[in-house]
Amino acid sequence: MVGEGETVNLSAIDIDILSIASKRGSAGIDKGELLFELGKVVKGIAYTDLVKRINRLASENAISIEENGPDDFTVFITESGSRLISDSIQ
């Protein structure tokens, strides 16, 4: 979990995931929409690698994941994730 003042090394893909989630705010973004939006900016990464990155960001409290079914989820950005995005832009 990322605490106040801690730094996290974010890859470009991590930043893309957080940026996309932040645009949706409290409504969140479901798996299909997230993958569609990521497909516009990220090329050549396997689905399993994306899921690992999403799960890692969740374990670091940058996003939260709500399970909608056996193979569906919605991603929500957290306050910590919003701070990470702000810090990465500066």
Q: In which residue are the tokens 């497909």 written?
A: 39
Neighbours of 65 (CB within 10 A): 15
- CA-CA distance, 33 to 39, in Å (whole number)? 10
Find the helix packing angle between 31-41 and 12-24, rounded to 10°.
130
Name residue, tokens 């470009």. 12
Considering Cα of 69, then 76, then 18, then 5, what sign does the dihedral take? negative
Architecture of the domain spanning 12-89: Orthogonal Bundle (1.10)
90 residues of the chain, pLDDT tens digit each: 445 555 568 899 999 999 999 999 899 999 999 999 998 888 888 888 999 999 999 999 999 999 998 889 999 999 999 999 888 776
